[in-house]
Amino acid sequence: MKIVKNENQIKVDSVTDKEAEEAFVKILKWIGEDPSREGLLETPKRVTKAFKEYFKGYQEDPRAILEKTFGDVEGYSDMVVQKNISVQSHCEHHMAPIIGVAHVAYIPNQRVVGLSKMARVVEVFSKRLQTQERLTVQIATTLMETLDAKGVAVTIDSTHQCMTMRGIKKEQATTVTNYYLGQFRDDLSYQNRYLRFIAK
């Protein structure tokens, strides 16, 4: 299989839906199931369709989402904070779900972006195999560079089912990651205000 990487996406030589379904048939056999029984006849097709949704972020460019900005903000220059953006991702080590929330803030540099775009950037990177640390950095770096922002802060608080359903099985454990750029990194007063906002 040939893999070609660019800055935002990974392109892999195409695998057909039929080939993916055949792979899931093999997995069903491997776990000890009978793929020919009634309840499982359509399962490989359904799982293939579900995987397209789980991992649709590979087909999307997060920078393109941020291309349209607005300058008619009458000089607004303080932070814009969006809290409680739902995160549904999958860990790259076990392909188990990561479920949580993201908080995102940026300090505009003359222009702002539509509020839904911030959540869409979180969505694109979430819909890929991830580590939470990398997901946090990818969101922050993309917002900082594409918006030419004065600063960006990203926090993710999530539960990893590779920890809660298998392995150590600590059901109440959550993981918090933070990443700061620009004024949020260099000026603790901005960072502290941001942390107070997302704690409310």
**Which residues are catalytically annotated?**
91-94, 132, 160, 162
Listing DSSP states for the chain in one string gives: --EEE-SS-EEE----HHHHHHHHHHHHHHTT--TTSGGGTTHHHHHHHHHHHHTGGGG--HHHHT--EE--STT--S-EEEEEEEEEEEETTT--EEEEEEEEEEE-BSBEE-HHHHHHHHHHHHTSEE-HHHHHHHHHHHHHHHHT-SEEEEEEEEEEHHHHSSTT--TT--EEEEEEEEHHHH-HHHHHHHHHHHH-
**Order of strands across the sheet with 80-91?**
129-130, 80-91, 97-107, 151-160, 175-182
Dihedral sign of CA atoms 44, 46, 52, 54 in order: negative
